[in-house]
Amino acid sequence: MNKIFILAIVLVAGWYGNSLYQQNDLPFMQNSETYSGSGEQLKCITKDGRVLYGSVPQGTVCERRESVKGSLTIVSSEAVSANQSSNQKNSSFKCDGRQHCSQMNSRDEAEYFVKNCPNTKMDGDHDGIPCENDSRF
């Protein structure tokens, strides 16, 4: 009788665990660990190809976990957007698609475009100083 009771408990626990697994509701699948047991940082790669570092939103399933080599600083998206908006508020310049030195009116404008706008072609030697050969500046 004892063996039947224990067997029933094991079967119920297995069934319940399997139903949680099928729904991806297991606690260890909801929140990815930032660190593995050895203290190295991990990244989570989801089924749709997103790569997440640090804490993973509840309900996110990591299809693959990989260790992160080198240094990694995790910054919240709120901090990034606040920094970008403050950079743009403090400037009278605005990204408008211009890419070349000949389209700039000042060195300050060229520096703003190189730092804040995509696809600029004003810093050929990638030293952070745009339009070095432009005699107007």
The more confidently predicted of residues 80 and 101 is 101
What pLDDT digit, counting tens, does each position of 110-119 carry?
998 888 888 8
What pLDDT digit, counting tens, does each position of 53-96 carry?
777 778 888 888 887 776 666 666 665 555 555 555 556 888 88
How many CB atoms sit inside 10 A of residue 101's CB? 21
| DSSP per-residue string spanning the chain | -HHHHHHHHHHHHHHHHHHHHHTT--HHHHS--SB-TTS-BEEEEETTS-EEESS--TT--EEEEEEPPS------HHHHHHHHHHHHHT-S----S--SGGG-SSHHHHHHHHHHSTT----TT-SS---TT-TT-
Distance of alpha carbon 120 from the chain centroid:
23
User: Tell me, what amino acid is at 96?
Assistant: D
Give pTM, 2 decimals.
Answer: 0.37
